[in-house]
Structure 1
Amino acid sequence: MPNAPHIKSAARRRAMKAASSTATALRAVLYLRMSMDRTGEGAGLERQEQACRALALARGWEVVAVVDDTISATTARLADRPGWQHVVRMIEAGEADLIVAWHLERVTRSMKDLESLIELAVERGVGLATATGDIDLTTDVGRMVARILAAVATAETERKAERQILANDQRVAEGKPQWIRRPFGYELDGTLREDEAAAVRKAYHDAIDGKALTTIAREWNEAGFTTSAPGSEMARPRAPRKRNYDPTGRWTNVAVRALLRSPRNMAKSTLYGEIMGDAKWSPIVDEATWRAVERKLADRERPDSSWGKLANLLSGIATCSVCDGPMGASRRGKEGESIYTCKGRPSQPDLGRGHCSIGVDFADGQIVRRLIQQMQATGRVTFRPQPPAIDPAPLVQREGEIAQLMAELVEDRTAGLIDRASLVAGTATLRAELAEIQAELAKAGTYGRAEEIDAEAAYDEFDRLDLGEQRAILRDAFEFIKVIPRGKGRRRQGEPAWQPELIRTAFTPAWS
């Protein structure tokens, strides 16, 4: 029997399909989508399903599936919606003959997405029925109506965006809070939540002192503090992400960094990430403190994404002496030695990578040993950044002058040259200055040159620090740490695998 002739006319194929389907009920898949505005005005999933089922019952269609999405049509394309992709797979597999939705805007509000929907309808001969009126995308009139409706929906979306922008501008100009949910450290009305605000204030000073953000996050978790991220049951529906959105409320170093860098904490209003001016809520810290931490966090290194998480002491701090690229840790074989290897420079791939390598344990030990030897050589008594050296002589001289002035005020009062109010005011001013001088003298005594450093105690102190704090100390202490290629050829029998000469270091002026 000869093959059936191919019918080129799409209109004739649709007519033949409609004629052949009169004996059997059309199979309908119901597509539902929940609106992000949550008004509940006919857009709830249950109401949509009831209206679509009523339409299918009246037309005699068989409902073969009900598929829903809880994603905004303005922020998520059709291709990004898992529910819609399931509908497309059913159509392509021939498991459904038409799509039923509550309204066209439940499917799309985008002209670009509408064209892909029209293409699907024309290629597969699929109809789109809505509870508010049928739209046959396989006909020119139906496509015209759909495009008009989509254009109206797009225009409404744009007007809504303009209204929101104007409202945000007005709130910023007035300095009012514009928070979707309560930020950590604040109530929704802009007043401070004292226990959280105190923790944030302490975190700023800890960050200035060099404490790692991971340590701050751990302390907050242990204290029972949680982020302001909503729980999974309260989170708003959103488009799929590469990483599943599963808020736990636990603090991480990333969350702490974002919080400390927020201008909100110094009572500054922002718009699209830019500081716009003073706000009317209470500040947690002053502007000088915020900017000091902002500079510190902005300057802190960020690992290149090509070699992932920093889990070793020198990863990203030590560099290759050949290409100046970062050294990253890897492992030789499944059970082999951990080594630092040159990762090259992503911005200059032509330079290559792997120019040098060195054992992780050997390199870490060498660097810590040199750090403590430098402390012994310079008389340094702490790993932490030291304040500038203080000359106590002028302070002691001024301390004596204040004592003399206070004695003279007492004599003048005794002689009747000044009244009691003048005596109290004069001595109060001098006492305040005296307290500042004595505090500076105490500080000068704290950071003095040590005659002898307990090396074992220094090693123990360094080991007790977490990795982030240790790395912060290395960044403060070393101008550079460079690894030298070992050279070609096999090492002699009995020769160590690694030599100290393979590591070159230089200390910063603060540690010299």
Structure 2
Amino acid sequence: MKYTKGASYERISKADEGDEDGVIRQGEDTAELAERRGIPLQGRRFRDNDKSATHGKHRPQYERLMAAVQRGEVDVIIVYMLGRLWRNRRERAEGIEILRKHNVSVLCVKGPELDLTTAAGRLLAGLLGEVDTFEVEQMSEREQREMRQRVERGVPPTGPRCFGYTADGAELVEDEATEVRDCFHALLAGATLSGLAAGLNERGILNRNGKPWSYNAMRGVLLNERYAGLRQYRGELYPGKWPVIVDEATWREAKHLLEDESRATRRGPGRRWLLSGIARCGVCDDGTTVTSGSRGGPKGTRGLTAPLYRCRKTKHLARGTEPIDLTVEEYVIRRLSRPDAVDLLVDETAPGTEELRAKAVALRSRISSLTDEFADDDDADAAAFKAAIRRIKTRLADVEAQMAHPQRSRILVDIVTAEDPAEAWKDLMLDRRRAVVATLATVTLLPGRPGRAPFDPRSVRIEPLQGMG
């Protein structure tokens, strides 16, 4: 048959980024066949690289080819083999019908010439296509069985490297794993996704692709069950045999928090000031919180602004942020530096708290007594003393853990147990500081003195929450 309006189509399902060798080879073979048969292509060459045809995904060049067919610009399509043109039944049936309607044949480098205007040609195209589909489905079944076996054996998932793990997923990248662990703990202690992403970016910690963190990337990490040593397959979770970064309970709590529809989320930049959205307006005195803003500097200081806390409703309250933040920070550090600060971690409503508290007091007393005895005994064995203290402290830690209020402990423990609470406060990210304030007290901002009167700390009303006094 003599063809006068030829077109070629090349496709590779999977190719590395920038790798076009496969489709180039196909193109050389289709061009050689067109030249041998004397079929002019005249620029009608269509190529989809790294595009699967199995699931009917968008193939832009294939769609351009079929549009050219329907405009009457093509009377034969040259392909390396029929499977490059179609791989699923729906597309094959639709394509055969379009080619039949417009009197277009298919010519294969490796395969027969198919005249789709005849019943025999369409039958052969359908049979060959079914063989292609069978091969694809059989390969898919083998891959699924292999995947299930890997899941059941606890083998790490393949694919792109997971932040925190080596490329094969079998070992930890320790510095990245530490960052992941800290992000989980910070989230459960009150941090926001935007704040976590901003904190990593400020410290120059990039994601696995070497790019800055975003809200969605941070969310994806904290929802990833892999960090808890789990793997999802067909809706079920299976245990894996790779190092975990957080325990399953921590991951599940983070997942619950992130998927809670009632939880307010922020996709924009994280908060910039300690009390925005936390402190209340003392003029409204109805629970209305303040937001942050700014005002211009004095005349002649173009571009300078002063940060403010403003009432969210009206303009009747506008206070400079710095002295207010310092006042609240001093209160927090003073409260968390008291000897009884550890009691803030205790869940008073938990059953058996009084009994556990008595055990804790007895263990602390025992540590104190042993220390005094060691100090007074010149012949005391230092190694035995250290071992005894270590055992008692381990028991004390277990008792304190049983008494601990889960949420308050996560938020406050870093400061309460620090040797220097003031330094520990400085090391906290802003989100954690905000969570500490919200856990300890209600802060209400009253109007300041008029004019240039000095700041009055009494205009910041700090009332401890129940059990936090």
Q: Provide TM-score, normalisation by structure 2.
A: 0.62
1:154 aligns with 2:133: yes
Q: Structure 1, unaligned stretches of length 5 or more?
A: 1-17, 230-247, 316-359, 448-463, 479-507
Shift of 1:222: 3.7
* Amino acid of the structure 1 residue aligned with 2:23: L
The percent identity for this pair of structures is 28
Q: What secondary structure does 2:313 align onto?
A: helix
Structure 1 counterpart of 2:46: 67
Which of 20, 34, 49 is the equivalent residue of 2:12? 34
Structure 2 counterpart of 1:280: 241
- Residues 222 and 255, structure 2, Cα contact 8 Å, conserved in 1: yes
- Residues 227 and 246, structure 2, Cα contact 8 Å, conserved in 1: yes
Structure 2 counterpart of 1:205: 185
Q: 1:125/1:302 Cα in 2 relative to 1: closer, same or farther (>3 Å)? A: farther
Q: 1:209/1:93 Cα in 2 relative to 1: closer, same or farther (>3 Å)? A: same
- Residues 214 and 253, structure 1, Cα contact 8 Å, conserved in 2: yes
Structure 2 counterpart of 1:399: 364
* Amino acid of the structure 2 residue aligned with 1:193: V
Q: 1:100/1:160 Cα in 2 relative to 1: closer, same or farther (>3 Å)? A: same
CA distance, structure 2, for counterparts of residue 270 and residue 170 of structure 1 = 13
Structure 2 matches for 1:451-490, cutoff 5 A? none
CA distance, structure 2, for counterparts of residue 381 and residue 420 of structure 1 = 38
Which of 148, 158, 165 is the equivalent residue of 1:169? 148
CA distance, structure 1, for counterparts of residue 241 and residue 371 of structure 2 = 44
Q: What secondary structure does 2:113 align onto?
A: coil
Structure 1 counterpart of 2:24: 46
CA distance, structure 2, for counterparts of residue 106 and residue 209 of structure 1 = 54
Q: Structure 2, unaligned stretches of length 5 or more?
A: 278-309, 337-343, 349-353, 417-428, 443-464
Q: 1:365/1:280 Cα in 2 relative to 1: closer, same or farther (>3 Å)? A: farther
Q: What secondary structure does 2:7 align onto?
A: strand
Q: 1:311/1:55 Cα in 2 relative to 1: closer, same or farther (>3 Å)? A: same
Q: 1:253/1:301 Cα in 2 relative to 1: closer, same or farther (>3 Å)? A: farther
* Amino acid of the structure 2 residue aligned with 1:262: N
Structure 2 counterpart of 1:290: 251
Q: What secondary structure does 2:54 align onto?
A: coil
Q: Provide TM-score, normalisation by structure 1.
A: 0.58
Which of 92, 95, 100 is the equivalent residue of 2:78? 100
Which of 250, 257, 260 is the equivalent residue of 1:299? 260
* Amino acid of the structure 1 residue aligned with 2:200: W
* Amino acid of the structure 1 residue aligned with 2:253: A
Q: 1:389/1:273 Cα in 2 relative to 1: closer, same or farther (>3 Å)? A: closer
Structure 2 counterpart of 1:131: 109
- Residues 211 and 469, structure 1, Cα contact 8 Å, conserved in 2: no
Structure 2 counterpart of 1:258: 220
Which of 142, 146, 167 is the equivalent residue of 2:121? 142
| Number of aligned positions between the proteins | 364
List per-residue Cα deviations over 1:54-98 (Å, max 9, x = no partner). 221222211121111121111334xx2110111122222222222
Shift of 1:167: 1.0
CA distance, structure 1, for counterparts of residue 154 and residue 134 of structure 2 = 30
Structure 1 counterpart of 2:420: none
CA distance, structure 2, for counterparts of residue 223 and residue 285 of structure 1 = 22
List per-residue Cα deviations over 1:126-181 (Å, max 9, x = no partner). 11211122111111001111111111111111111111111111212221112212
CA distance, structure 2, for counterparts of residue 438 and residue 471 of structure 1 = 22
CA distance, structure 2, for counterparts of residue 218 and residue 312 of structure 1 = 7
Structure 1 counterpart of 2:69: 91
Alpha-carbon RMSD = 5.1
CA distance, structure 2, for counterparts of residue 117 and residue 35 of structure 1 = 19
Structure 2 counterpart of 1:321: none
* Amino acid of the structure 2 residue aligned with 1:158: E
1:192 aligns with 2:192: no
CA distance, structure 2, for counterparts of residue 63 and residue 176 of structure 1 = 50
- Residues 177 and 188, structure 1, Cα contact 8 Å, conserved in 2: no
* Amino acid of the structure 1 residue aligned with 2:83: E
- Residues 97 and 127, structure 1, Cα contact 8 Å, conserved in 2: yes
Q: 1:161/1:413 Cα in 2 relative to 1: closer, same or farther (>3 Å)? A: farther
1:363 aligns with 2:313: yes
* Amino acid of the structure 2 residue aligned with 1:90: A
Which of 207, 221, 224 is the equivalent residue of 1:227? 207
- Residues 137 and 143, structure 1, Cα contact 8 Å, conserved in 2: yes
Q: 1:220/1:87 Cα in 2 relative to 1: closer, same or farther (>3 Å)? A: same
1:430 aligns with 2:392: yes
* Amino acid of the structure 1 residue aligned with 2:247: D
Report runs of 4+ in structure 1 exceeding 6 Å deviation.
Answer: 308-315, 364-369, 389-393, 405-414, 418-424, 434-447, 468-478, 508-512
